[in-house]
């Protein structure tokens, strides 16, 4: 199979404990589904009523999805949108360009079908890039009128409405965490490896861990939506292309042939790269803050660099991610980890690698997740020093 560039991998689901054989078989099957949802090449072992343990998963997930699968998902999604009075689309807390872009994309699909769609954004919890984006979106009334707050969404949603989670699949990470419980119709479109936390009985799941971004997945769905009116507008195409650019670090990480196909499509319908550059412009103080964090960098193992912010200073998650990217570009660095305090109770870690080191496994041990080359976690009620010691311990354990 490797000669055909389709390496064969094996996944295993194991369960044990005080339960009937039927319950154990059901749990083992769930473990196997979880392993496949995370990209395969791994074993998942779980004791009844305990958290799963992950083994393996070192292979960089290959591009396995086909045009047939994209078409099936697109048609299934359209059917669900048509049946629901309103579609509510939500990304994760502190959204990035990919989260907003994929949400706007799904909303546009609903509008092309003549249905009402609402995109949920918490304007109090956004970074500078998303503030710039929302100012740009305000120039497009048709798109701007569909953006609502989490509070309004809670007041308006009914059991018959459709909730679409984009760029994440853990309800606790949602911008409106309990919204998925208000309806019995939940759809997930995500490109992160599947974790144990998952909504109860979603009606449609499209998790592709080998896609570059949720915007790439959403862009492909447009191909199978037939409509003469309400086609995607310039700001929506621009935001989705921005999501791909941010998540691939300018097409340098997790980029497959389908990524360029999606980017080409978005460019053809009006995406503007100059607007993206303007929205992503960095403030001078942000750059200086990143350099301050870089100064604390130290190698804790061969090729493993760890840096951290000040204990009493609060940083935005995007600063940690950008700093990790900066450190990764340095000589002799195979993986970078940046630890910063996000608020009074929460410390965040951003992790990046060039592929030799699986940072997703390291972050998973710390309670987070992500991809082989790009992962993160958030930890409550601990100091940066304590978390740094834990991180170094996990790195050394997985390296031995």
Torsion angle (degrees, nearest 10) of CA 186, 192, 196, 197: -40
Distance CA 43, CA 30 (A): 12
Looking at residue 99, what is its pLDDT?
A: 95
Give 223's contacts (C-beta < 8 A, 6+ positions apart).
Answer: 70, 71, 74, 265
Of 364 and 12, which is predicted with more confidence?
12
Looking at residue 215, what is its pLDDT?
A: 96
pTM of the predicted model as reported, rounded to 2 decimal places: 0.78
Computed from CA positions of residues 261, 265, 268, 272, in that sequence, does the dihedral angle turn out positive or negative? negative
Looking at residue 87, what is its pLDDT?
A: 97
Give 59's contacts (C-beta < 8 A, 6+ positions apart).
Answer: 7, 9, 39, 40, 41
Q: How is residue 282 annotated by DSSP?
A: P
pLDDT digits (tens, 9 = 90+) for 159-209: 999 999 999 998 988 999 889 888 889 999 998 878 778 888 899 999 988
pLDDT digits (tens, 9 = 90+) for 115-153: 999 999 999 988 888 998 999 999 999 999 999 999 999
Do 19 and 42 touch, CB atoms closer than 8 A?
A: no
Do 43 and 72 touch, CB atoms closer than 8 A?
A: no
Looking at residue 127, what is its pLDDT?
A: 80
Residue 57 pLDDT exceeds 80: no
pLDDT digits (tens, 9 = 90+) for 218-248: 999 998 898 766 789 999 999 999 999 988 8
DSSP string, 37-59: HTTSSEEEEEETTS--EEEE--S
**Helices marked H in 56-124:** 67-83, 97-112
Q: Which residue has the tokens 């550059």?
A: 277
pLDDT digits (tens, 9 = 90+) for 34-55: 888 777 888 999 999 888 888 8
Q: Helix, strand, or coil here: 34?
A: helix
CA 158 to each of CA 86, 106, 163, 166, 182: distance values in angstroms, whole numbers, following the listed order: 9, 19, 10, 20, 7
Do 379 and 387 touch, CB atoms closer than 8 A?
A: yes
CA atoms within 13 A on the CB side of 357: 27
Looking at residue 283, what is its pLDDT?
A: 78
Give percent of the chain with pLDDT exceeding 70.
95
Computed from CA positions of residues 88, 198, 77, 371, in that sequence, does the dihedral angle turn out positive or negative? positive
Residue 16 pLDDT exceeds 70: yes
Q: Helix, strand, or coil here: 287?
A: helix
Residue 74 pLDDT exceeds 90: yes
CA angle 214, 5, 11 (to 5 degrees): 70
The mean pLDDT value of the chain amounts to 89
Looking at residue 62, what is its pLDDT?
A: 54
Question: Mean per-residue pLDDT for 23-38?
Answer: 88
Looking at residue 126, what is its pLDDT?
A: 87
pLDDT digits (tens, 9 = 90+) for 264-310: 999 999 999 999 998 888 778 888 999 999 999 999 988 999 999 99
CA 74 to each of CA 68, 91, 123, 324: distance values in angstroms, whole numbers, following the listed order: 10, 19, 30, 35
Q: How confident is the model at residue 384 (pLDDT cuts 50, 70, 90)?
A: very high
């Amino acid at each position: 199979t490797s000669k055909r560039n389709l390496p064969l991998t094996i996944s295993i689901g194991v369960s044990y404990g005080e339960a009937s054989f039927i319950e154990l078989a059901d749990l083992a099957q769930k473990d196997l589904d979880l392993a496949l949802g995370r990209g395969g090449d791994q074993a998942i072992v779980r004791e009844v009523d305990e958290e799963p343990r992950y083994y393996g998963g070192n292979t960089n997930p290959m591009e396995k999805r086909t045009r047939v699968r994209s078409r099936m998902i697109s048609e299934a999604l359209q059917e669900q949108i048509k049946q629901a009075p309103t579609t509510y689309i939500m990304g994760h807390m502190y959204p990035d360009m990919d989260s907003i872009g994929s949400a706007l994309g799904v909303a546009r699909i609903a509008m092309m079908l003549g249905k009402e769609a609402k995109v949920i954004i918490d304007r109090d919890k956004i970074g500078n890039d998303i503030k710039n984006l929302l100012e740009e979106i305000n120039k497009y009334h048709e798109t701007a009128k569909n953006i609502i707050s989490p509070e309004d969404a809670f007041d308006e949603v009914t059991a018959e409405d459709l909730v679409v989670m984009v760029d994440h699949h853990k309800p606790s990470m949602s911008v409106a965490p309990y919204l998925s419980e208000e309806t019995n119709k939940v759809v997930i479109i995500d490109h992160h490896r599947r974790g144990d936390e998952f909504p109860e009985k979603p009606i449609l799941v499209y998790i592709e861990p080998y896609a570059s971004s949720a915007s790439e997945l959403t862009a492909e769905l447009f191909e199978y939506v037939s409509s003469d009116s309400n086609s995607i507008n310039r700001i929506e195409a621009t935001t989705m292309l921005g999501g791909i650019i941010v998540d691939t670090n300018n097409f340098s990480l997790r980029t497959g042939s389908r990524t360029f196909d999606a980017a080409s499509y978005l460019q053809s319908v009006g995406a503007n790269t100059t607007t993206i550059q303007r929205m992503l412009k960095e403030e001078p103080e942000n750059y200086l803050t990143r350099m301050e964090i870089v100064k604390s960098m130290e190698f804790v193992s061969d090729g493993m660099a760890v840096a951290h912010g000040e204990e009493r200073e609060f940083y935005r998650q995007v600063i940690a991610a950008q700093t990790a990217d900066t450190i990764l570009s340095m000589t002799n660095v195979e993986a970078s980890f940046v630890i910063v305090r996000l608020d009074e109770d929460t410390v965040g870690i951003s992790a990046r690698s060039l592929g030799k080191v699986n940072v997703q496994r390291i972050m998973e041990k710390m309670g987070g997740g992500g991809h082989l080359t790009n992962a993160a976690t958030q930890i409550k009620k601990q100091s940066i020093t304590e978390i740094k010691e834990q991180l170094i311990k996990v790195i050394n354990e997985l390296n031995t």
